[in-house]
Amino acid sequence: MAEGAETVENVLTERIIGAAIEVHRHLGPGLLETAYDECLCYELRQQGIGFQRQVALPIRYKGLSLDCNYKLDLLVEDTVVVEVKAIEALLPVHSAQLLTYLKSSGKHVGLLINFNVTMLTKGLKRMVNRYVEPNSLQPPLRLSPRLSVSAVNREPR
């Protein structure tokens, strides 16, 4: 990823986090996820930050694209995936969920924001998807002639 794109992502995630802190400052913990989601969208709109809500995310399985009703909470500026939570504590499975969403959507950066905490900084997690398809990283595997002989082509003993 180009350095300029990373800078844009950093500035954008800082602005999203600032908006989330503003929401948390006014509402505090204890509400439903939908309330935080709605208020976060209001703050983003006030800052002129573009976003989409409940973006459909098809699952790719064995070359098929399947609609399994997965949705990204927010896709900000077509760049940052934001997953909003209002739960007791973030667990490793929530990070895994966001990473899966990043891989499936082809996006590079995501934010996991849990509003059900006393200090929002304890409920924030920024994740970067550095995954690249294995086939695009390396040239095709070339075997030496000695290793490429199959058992079928061998002379009987």
The pLDDT value recorded for residue 68 is 86
pLDDT, position 150? 39
Question: Does residue 154 belong to any structural domain of this protein?
Answer: no
Residue 145 within any structural domain of the chain: no
151 lies in some domain: no
The verdict on residue 143 lying in a domain is no
Whether residue 149 lies inside any domain: the answer is no
Please check whether residue 85 is in contact with residue 18, taking contact to mean a CB–CB distance below 8 angstroms.
no
Q: Dig out the tokens for 91 from the structure.
A: 């667990």
Kind of pairing between the strands at 109-114 and 80-85: parallel
Q: Which two tokens stand for residue 85?
A: 């939570």
User: Can you give the pLDDT at residue 143?
Assistant: 40
- Let me know if residue 138 belongs to a domain: no
Q: Which domain holds residue 127?
A: 3-131
Which pTM value belongs to this model?
0.78
pLDDT at 5: 65
35-37-40-42 Cα dihedral, nearest 10 degrees: -80
Give 53's strand partners: 74
Q: Report the half-sphere exposure of 90 (CA within 13 A, side-chain side).
A: 22
Q: How many domains are there within the chain?
A: 1
Check residue 92 and give its pLDDT.
94
In a domain, 57, yes or no: yes
41 falls within a domain: yes
Q: Which long-range contacts (CB under 8 A, 24 or more apart) does 33-40 make?
A: 33/84, 33/85, 33/86, 33/115, 35/86, 36/84, 36/86, 36/113, 36/115, 37/73, 37/74, 37/84, 40/74, 40/82, 40/84, 40/113
pLDDT tens, the chain, 157 aa long: 556 667 888 899 999 999 999 999 999 999 999 999 999 999 999 999 999 999 999 888 888 888 888 899 999 999 999 999 999 999 999 999 999 999 889 899 999 999 999 999 999 999 998 755 544 344 444 444 444 343 344 444 4
Do the beta carbons of residue 82 and residue 16 sit within 8 Å? yes
